[in-house]
Structure 1
Amino acid sequence: MTEILRAPAEVQHADEIARLAADDPHPRPDGWRLSPRAVRRFVVGDERHGIARKFYGDDALIDRCIVTLMSNRGLLLVGEPGTAKSMLSELLAAAISGDSTCTVQGSAGTTGDQITYSWNYALLLAEGPSPRALVRGPLHEAMAQGRICRFEEVTRVQPEIQDVLIGMLSDKVLHVPELDGPDATVFAARGFNIIATANLRDRGVHEMSSALKRRFNFETVRPISDRKLEVRLIKEQTAALLQRSGVPTTVPDDVVDLLVTAFHDLRDGTTQEGTAVERPTAVMSSAEAVAVAHAAALDAHYFGDGVPGGEHIARQLIGTVLKDNPEDGKKLRHYFDVVVKQRARRKDQWSRLLDARRELDR
């Protein structure tokens, strides 16, 4: 059987979920697989019981998210790209419902039937509207089975499609007018709720109606400000990606420190030494940092001596910053010429980073 690239959270962490469920004396809401305390332990970790931390950030945010999902409102996670909104929604759905795959991927082309239900047209023509001809969408399935439905990038969806959610969040009911009798109405089973995500850089694409906003609790997922926590995140996630890739290498500690420092410099607009730098418009998130570390390790393994260094970070950093705004190239050159050049005098990984400066001029 072909190995899949990435299993959903409930499969990756099935052992942890099973252990938490077996030792969970706390009260749990109807329709939940785990108690709120166990859901929290699954997301933020519990070293005493061998539960790994999966979300790095504000633990109080996790508590508020869990409380929201027990209420009659949906949860809307907002933030900059790469702040782990989707990962957090997946973890919460896996722990609460045991299934994180009930998902709507929002886009400009998303239609109402993709969210709620559509029809098997061969059966529809042969039999007319019937439960057998009905093709249940993610929201229909989530309501009927009492599960969490994830709605990714909700602000990319047309406003009239977004508003399909209003009745589901307020009345907890979905009507199928083509059917008769009890099949014409789907009442949400206990455990049903919606976790939506929205990118702050997409504000103004399709603004949510005030009626829909009132039916969500908004929680902002912010970039990691603690450098030590970000270093730990990058090490753990890069190691997991390299293991999945079958690459027997690691990223040295001083290279990870360099990567985190460079990302914080460019993200914050100032260095630890107090030097002001221009912030690029490109996203400098923790997720991007993990991608840079992973790519640098692959570069070193397949084209170098197997040990990632500053030069490998530089090549991937350039590709991360120079995405769509030509002005970002000038800002990165200034960063190399002022900040990296000064640090390179130490003759460590920063000097190897500076050696790749020439690739910016190609």
Structure 2
Amino acid sequence: MATTKSKTQHSNSQLPTPNPSLLREHAEQQFAHELVELAKADTRQRPPNWKLSPWAVAIYLLGGKLDNGFEVTPKYIGNRRLMEVAIATLATDRALLLYGVPGTAKSWVSEHLAAAVSGDSTMLIQGTAGTSEEAIRYGWNYARLLADGPSMEALVASPMMRAMADGKIARVEELTRIPSDVQDTLITVLSEKTLPIPELNTEVQATKGFSVIATANNRDRGVNELSSALKRRFNTVILPVPNTIEEEVSIVQQRVTSLGRALELPAEVPALEEIQRVVTIFRELRDGVTIDGKTKLKSPTGTLSPAEAISVVNSGMSLSAHFGDGSLTASDLISGLVGAVVKDPVQDQVVWKEYLETVVKERDGWKDLYRASRAML
């Protein structure tokens, strides 16, 4: 059968140009300069159609200094071996499943892996309860289909089909949100590396370099479990919450600084102490015990991941910039903090009030947070 090439094929020779007017650039736009420098310095063997070698992809993700002195910023702060396993998986014939609790950077890692490997992170399928087979396989331009009948011109290629034809990475977000019968559409793609088009008696055969990165959230366990046949086609990498408070503070600080620049917030970069306080609160409530291990705590219903901590600090920065003096204070932080912790207005309110009285009120240097929170309740 013939191999069908995508009509929307991107150039393999050039990375997208950064566009600072965009609210959020794709990874390959935002970090184009790093990808260019890595490509120049990369002398190691690259798998077919990869923009960088696995070694260089790891440097891009985890950060490091090149021989010419160029500094690559870390995109993921955590277990190096997990990233090496993820990258090595993409160099095999198996797909990659990034799995973990909400807010552990699954989508972030997926995007940056696709950017570094393919130079294109946009081949994206968003999984929802309403995702249909057409979103994964292909659809039709019905006006053209009715006028001319089935043809390649009437076919609307999915991101999966384009990635197969171009030898790139396709991304599937929230795989377990997709209905089980639609998930199984991936089995032939992942095992045979082929996407049949029976209406045209043809198929799309995957070009070398094609792979799939899917993400799944353990909070969705039992919603749409993957079939055993589909599970076998994936190598699963579980992304944990940060092991140490220092690691989590570093993640939050880096992302807050980056987002503050992107959003052009006229506020000072928050002091490390403020970020440490937010992260400490999240870790203690998440773990059900204070950092020193002396006081047991109730945990709220929410996840309280680094992603929520980043959101709390950024919200505080916006308040301080537009309604304060530009310097982050406890009163700027507290609304975001309470909003992140108190998802259930009954159960979580009890958890937060108890934490205020037993921990925040008694902790040296935290009286401002206690007063600001009491003023809100």
Map 1:19-98 to 2 at 5 A.
19-48=37-66, 49-98=70-119
| TM value normalised by structure 2 | 0.91
Deviation at 1:299, TM superposition (A): 1.1
Q: Which runs of 5+ in 2 are unaligned?
A: 1-18
Alignment partner of 1:251 out of 270, 283, 289? 270
- Aligned-residue CA RMSD (Å): 1.4
User: What SS does structure 1 have at the residue aligned with 2:269?
Assistant: coil
Q: CA deviation at 1:310?
A: 2.1
SS in 2 for 1:11: helix
Tell me which residue corresponds to 2:16. none
User: Which residue matches 2:342?
Assistant: 322
Residue identity opposite 1:351 in structure 2: K
- The list of structure 1 runs, each at least 4 consecutive aligned residues, that deviate by more than 3 angstroms after superposition, is none
Verify the 8 A CA contact 1:151 1:197 in the aligned structure 2.
yes
Q: 3-state DSSP class of the match of 1:342? A: coil
SS in 2 for 1:178: helix
State which of 202, 206, 217 in structure 2 corresponds to 1:199: 217
Distance 1:206 1:43, change over 3 A: same
Among all aligned residue pairs of Structure 1 and Structure 2, give the percentage whose two residues are the same amino acid.
43
Listed as ranges, the matches of 1:273-288 within 5 Å are 273=292, 274-288=294-308
* C-alpha distance in structure 2 between counterparts of 1:247 and 1:189, whole Å: 44
Q: CA deviation at 1:325?
A: 5.6
Gaps spanning 5+ residues in structure 1: where?
none
Aligned 8 A contact 1:43 1:53 in 2: yes
Aligned length: 354
Contact 1:109 1:157 in 2 (8 A): yes
Q: Which residue of 1 aligns with 2:370?
A: 354
- Asked if 1:235 is matched to 2:253, the reply is yes
Q: Distance in 1 between matches of 2:95 and 2:306?
A: 26
1:115 maps to 2:131: no
Structure-1 separation of matches of 2:120 and 2:344: 36
Task: Find the aligned partners of 2:261 and 2:184 in 1 and give their Cα distance.
Answer: 43
Distance in 1, matches of 2:373 and 2:344, equals 19
- TM-score, normalisation: structure 1: 0.95
Aligned residue number for residue 298 of structure 1: 318
Could you tell me how far 1:328 is from its partner in structure 2? 0.9
Contact in 2 for aligned 1:311/1:354 (Cα 8 Å): no
CA distance in 2, matches of 1:299, 1:143: 45
Mapped partners of 1:26, 1:351: distance in 2: 55
Task: Report the equivalent of 1:7.
Answer: 25
The 8 Å contact of residues 153 and 198 in structure 1, kept in 2 or not, is answered as yes
Of 302-311 and 150-159, the range deviating more from structure 2: 302-311
**Distance across 2 between alignment mates of 1:282 and 1:360:** 20
Which one is further off, 148-157 or 1-10? Answer: 1-10
In the TM superposition, residue 72 of structure 1 has moved relative to its aligned partner by 1.3
- The residue aligned with 2:3 is none
Contact 2:137 2:161 in 1 (8 A): yes
